[in-house]
């Protein structure tokens, strides 16, 4: 089996070799010719010898050129040898240069370190010298120069030097403690110490003298104080900082002098301002200006007539309420007021004083913070400002107290109280700029205003409750001045004092609102009682009703003009006016139609009787007379009612409203009369032709309606 496999393999390889040889052209050609291998080998050898001989022949022919090539190669070898020698020299030179460069690099690093050390030393020594040494210019400026920018710069430099020399300053940020201690203890510092001490004393004295001089100028100069503060003191506030650090006694003296001087200056300033404003005080009310003032007090000084200006203007709010919106407006300038010969009510003068005081306090707070405390220490600033303004605030409170002794202007007091409360609330909204001393001032003002306001309100209430109608003018149906004055007072109180809260807050606002509400209720009750007593002086009941209608209408008209459209008082007087109008309507109709109205009321009452049975049994002749009388007189009766209304009622609109009610009620009575007739007679009675149609009455009523529509 193995022999067979080997034979198969050899045969396969042989076939492969044969195939390859057949592909060779020479072999293939030899095989085709039948040449043997020995012959073929000899042939090849012969061809090789021929080729060799031919090659030798060619070499011999080219021998000269080969010799030249050999010479050239020898020369090239020489050149390459020289180049190698040169390159080796270059390599040696470069090695030497590299060693020199490394040496130079090491030297450069050493020099760089030395340079940095020298520069650091120079910087420290320079800073040290700058901190310790003072130029002659600084000494000259401190000792002999005027107090100006140059002097300020010199004091700043001296302060820096002294603080450093005494261990209180820094040469350079980041300096280590050892270096700093070494510098402070340097001999140069000790050598310069006597000169530094002398300059310190000289600078302290000059700073003290300058600041005291400028503070004294605040008291004697006629220039604006705040302008002097900004230009003369605030600009050189560093001088005070210098005194605090180097002469605390002088600094305390300057501060004390400033506080005392400003306190006296502001006290005198505000006293003078108050005195000047008093010359422009407009007297709105006097001791006689109460609601129920007696008529003789209202008469003009030179005539026996009642002054129309006293009817109610003292209680009218009017445009005076605008002062509440002008709280931040500039204060009154006295010289302008003198030039214009202007007069101002109490609240405007107080607003001006309040604005002037608040502006001065805010300016002083800012100045004191910057000048005495360097912009910090808020508690100390507030305490200093309070000390400065103590006398001025006390003078203002004293002036207010003196004004209140003779003040009878209830509207002015209400407005001033509102001004104080609003100013206090505004200050509370800005605590960062508020002056704490003013809060106590506001509280003092309120403590003075509230009792005086209560006293005046009580006086007005007593004037109404204790009034004698005989001293309040002659009786008449026209509106009484008491009603107008009451309405104006109530409208002012309602506008300027808070309304009762829906839910009690148990605070001052709640108490004030309750007091205002209680006062309004008492005053309303007393006024209604007084109006009733005034009406009682009239003989005719109808005149009494007309009097009350006129006064109630006047009160409601004033309420409406002042924006009071709701509330207990409005509801009360609206109901009273409606009730009195109903009385007048019945009385006016009774004059011309009493029999018919009585017949209608009596018959309707009988018709409502529970035990009544059967048809109505009316007196036909009576009904006929009533029918004929109405037909004959109704137009003239309406004309008379219209004439009476026009003469009775001062307010045309009120009169027309009453007339409408009278005519409407007349039409209702007559309609009810006709309804009774229709129910009593199943067929129209003979006198039915005399019944006036309701459309005719309506047409007549419309004629009068055209006069007031």
Annotated domain spans of the chain: 18-61, 136-237, 247-279+317-466, 584-705
Q: What pLDDT does residue 579 have? A: 92
| Reported confidence tier of residue 298, pLDDT bands at 50, 70, 90 | low
Cα end-to-end distance, the chain, whole Å: 150
What pLDDT, in 10s, does the model give residues 368-394? 888 888 776 678 888 888 888 889 889
Helix (H) or strand (E) holding 627: helix 620-648
| Reported confidence tier of residue 595, pLDDT bands at 50, 70, 90 | confident
The residue among 250, 255, 241 whose CA lies nearest residue 162 is 241
Q: What pLDDT does residue 616 have? A: 66
Q: What pLDDT does residue 35 have? A: 67
The residue among 247, 251, 227 whose CA lies nearest residue 237 is 251
| CA 178/CA 193 separation, integer angstroms | 21
Alpha helices in 430-496 (DSSP H): 436-465, 481-496
The residue among 61, 500, 499, 486 whose CA lies nearest residue 316 is 486
| CA 269/CA 352 separation, integer angstroms | 14
Q: What pLDDT does residue 575 have? A: 92
Q: 238 pLDDT exceeds 60?
A: yes
- Helix 63-132 vs helix 177-184: crossing angle, to nearest 10: 50
Reduce the DSSP state of residue 233 to 3 states and report it.
helix
For residue 512, with 0-12 CB atoms within 10 Å meaning exposed, 13-18 middle and 19 or more buried, which class applies? Answer: middle
| Reported confidence tier of residue 307, pLDDT bands at 50, 70, 90 | very low
Residue 458 contacts by C-beta under 8 Å, 6 or more apart in sequence? Answer: none
Angle subtended at Cα 263 by Cα 262 and Cα 266, rounded to the nearest 5 degrees: 80
| CA 594/CA 633 separation, integer angstroms | 12
Cβ-based neighbour number of residue 558 at 10 Å: 21
Average pLDDT over residues 532-560: 88
Contact 637, 588 (CB under 8 A): no
What percentage of the chain reaches a pLDDT higher than 90?
2
Residue 536 contacts by C-beta under 8 Å, 6 or more apart in sequence? Answer: 469, 544
Contact 606, 639 (CB under 8 A): no
Contact 677, 603 (CB under 8 A): no
What's the Cα-to-Cα distance from 71 to each of 53, 76, 77, 612, 636, rounded to whole Å?
Answer: 26, 9, 10, 177, 170
Q: What pLDDT does residue 174 have? A: 45
| CA 323/CA 320 separation, integer angstroms | 6
Tokens of 642: 């219209």
Q: What pLDDT does residue 511 have? A: 66
Tokens of 399: 């002036």
Q: What pLDDT does residue 193 have? A: 65
Tokens of 499: 């309304």
Total count of residues recorded for the chain? 709
- In degrees to the nearest 10, what's the CA dihedral of 561, 567, 569, 575? 100
Residue bearing the bigger pLDDT, 406 or 685: 406
The mean predicted confidence, pLDDT, of the chain is 79
Cβ-based neighbour number of residue 514 at 10 Å: 14
Contact 207, 250 (CB under 8 A): yes
Residue 135 — left, alpha, or beta (φ > 0 → left; ψ -120 to 50 → alpha)? beta
Contact 452, 280 (CB under 8 A): no
CATH number of 584-705: 1.20.1280
Q: What pLDDT does residue 229 have? A: 78
Q: Please give the full DSSP string across 241-267, using - where no structure is assigned.
A: HHHHHH-HHHHHHHHHHHHHHHHHHHH
| CA 486/CA 561 separation, integer angstroms | 14
Secondary structure (H, E, C), 541-560: HHHHHHHHHHHHHHHHHHHH
What's the Cα-to-Cα distance from 623 to each of 248, 597, 600, 606, rounded to whole Å?
Answer: 114, 12, 10, 16
| CA 131/CA 122 separation, integer angstroms | 14
Phi and psi at 281, nearest 5°, equal: -80, 125
How far does CA 207 lie from the centroid of its chain? 42
Q: 177 pLDDT exceeds 70?
A: no
Q: What pLDDT does residue 589 have? A: 83
Q: Which of 54-58, 292-296, 573-577 has the lowest mean pLDDT?
A: 292-296
Residue bearing the bigger pLDDT, 688 or 274: 274
What pLDDT, in 10s, does the model give residues 492-527? 888 887 654 444 444 555 566 677 778 888 988 999
Average pLDDT over residues 636-641: 82
Q: 584 pLDDT exceeds 50?
A: yes
| CA 499/CA 514 separation, integer angstroms | 8
Secondary structure (H, E, C), 141-179: HHHCCCCCHHHHHHHHHHHHHHHHHCCCCCCCCCCCHHH
Tokens of 112: 């760089």
For residue 176, with 0-12 CB atoms within 10 Å meaning exposed, 13-18 middle and 19 or more buried, which class applies? Answer: exposed
CA atoms within 13 A on the CB side of 193: 11
Residue bearing the bigger pLDDT, 544 or 498: 544
Tokens of 178: 């050892």
Tokens of 337: 């007021």
Q: 312 pLDDT exceeds 70?
A: no
What's the Cα-to-Cα distance from 525 to each of 288, 480, 485, 520, 522, rounded to whole Å?
Answer: 22, 16, 15, 9, 5
What's the Cα-to-Cα distance from 405 to each of 133, 277, 286, 298, 455, rounded to whole Å?
Answer: 69, 17, 11, 22, 11
Q: What pLDDT does residue 505 have? A: 46
């Amino acid at each position: 089996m193995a022999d067979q496999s080997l034979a198969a393999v050899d045969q396969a390889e042989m076939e492969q070799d044969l195939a390859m040889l057949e592909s060779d052209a020479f072999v293939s050609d030899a095989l085709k010719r039948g040449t043997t291998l020995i012959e073929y080998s000899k042939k090849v050898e012969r061809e090789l010898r021929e080729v060799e001989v031919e090659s030798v022949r060619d070499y011999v022919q080219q021998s000269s050129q080969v010799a030249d090539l050999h010479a050239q190669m020898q020369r090239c070898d020489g050149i390459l040898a020289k180049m190698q020698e040169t390159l080796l020299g270059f390599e040696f030179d470069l090695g030497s240069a590299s060693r020199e460069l490394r040496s130079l690099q090491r030297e450069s690093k050493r020099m760089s370190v030395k340079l940095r050390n020298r520069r650091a030393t120079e910087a420290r020594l320079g800073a040290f010298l700058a901190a310790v040494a003072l130029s002659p210019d600084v000494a000259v400026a401190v000792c002999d120069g005027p107090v100006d920018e140059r002097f300020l710069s010199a004091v700043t430099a001296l302060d820096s030097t002294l603080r450093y020399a005494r261990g209180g300053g820094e040469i350079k940020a980041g300096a280590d403690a050892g270096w700093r201690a070494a510098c402070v203890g340097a001999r140069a510092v000790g050598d310069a110490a006597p000169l530094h001490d002398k300059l310190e004393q000289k600078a302290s004295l000059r700073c003290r003298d300058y600041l005291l001089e400028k503070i004294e100028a605040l008291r004697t100069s006629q220039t604006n104080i705040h302008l002097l503060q900004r230009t003369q003191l605030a600009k050189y506030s560093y001088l005070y900082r210098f005194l605090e650090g180097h002469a605390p006694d002088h600094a305390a003296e300057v501060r004390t002098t400033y506080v005392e001087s400003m306190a006296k200056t502001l006290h005198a300033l505000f006293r003078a301002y108050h005195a000047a404003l008093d010359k422009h005080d407009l007297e709105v009310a006097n001791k006689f200006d109460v609601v129920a003032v007696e008529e003789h007090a209202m008469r003009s000084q030179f005539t026996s007539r009642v002054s129309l200006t006293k009817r109610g203007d003292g209680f009218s709010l009017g445009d005076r309420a605008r002062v509440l919106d002008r709280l931040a407006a500039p204060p009154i300038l006295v010289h302008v007021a003198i030039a214009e010969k202007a007069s101002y009510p109490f609240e405007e003068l107080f607003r001006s004083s309040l604005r002037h005081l608040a502006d001065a306090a805010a300016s002083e707070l800012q100045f004191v913070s910057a000048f005495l405390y360097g912009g910090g220490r808020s508690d100390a600033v507030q305490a200093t400002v309070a000390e400065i303004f103590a006398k001025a605030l006390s003078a203002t409170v004293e002036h207010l107290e003196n004004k209140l002794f003779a003040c009878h202007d209830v509207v002015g007091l209400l407005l001033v109280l509102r001004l104080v409360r609003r100013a206090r609330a505004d200050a509370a909204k800005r605590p960062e700029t508020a002056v704490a001393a003013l809060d106590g001032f506001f509280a003092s003002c309120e403590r003075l205003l509230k009792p005086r306001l209560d006293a005046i309100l009580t006086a007005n209430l007593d004037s109404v409750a204790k009034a004698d109608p005989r001293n309040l003018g002659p009786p008449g149906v026209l509106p009484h001045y008491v009603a107008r004055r009451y309405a104006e007072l109530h409208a002012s109180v309602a506008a300027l004092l808070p309304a009762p809260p829906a839910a009690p807050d148990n605070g001052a606002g709640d108490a004030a609102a309750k007091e205002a509400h209680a006062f309004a209720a008492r005053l309303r009750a007393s006024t209604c009682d007084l109006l009733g007593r005034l009406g009682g002086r009239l003989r005719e009941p109808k005149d009494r009703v007309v009097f009350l209608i006129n006064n109630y209408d006047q009160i409601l008209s004033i309420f409406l003009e002042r924006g009071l459209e709701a509330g207990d008082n409005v509801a009360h007087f609206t109901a009273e006016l409606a009730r009195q109008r109903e009385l007048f309507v019945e009385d006016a109709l009774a004059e011309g139609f009493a029999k018919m109205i009585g017949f209608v009321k009596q018959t309707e009452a009988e018709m409502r009787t529970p035990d009544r049975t059967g048809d109505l049994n009316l007196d036909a002749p009576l009904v006929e007379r009533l029918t004929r009388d109405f037909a004959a007189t109704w137009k003239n009766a309406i004309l008379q009612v219209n004439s009476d209304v026009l003469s009775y009622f001062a307010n045309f609109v009120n009169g027309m409203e009453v007339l409408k009610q009278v005519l409407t009620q007349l039409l209702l009575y007559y309609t009810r009369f006709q309804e009774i007739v229709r129910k009593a007679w199943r067929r129209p009675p003979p006198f039915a032709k005399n019944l006036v149609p309701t459309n005719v009455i309506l047409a007549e009523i419309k004629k009068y309606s055209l006069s007031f529509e």
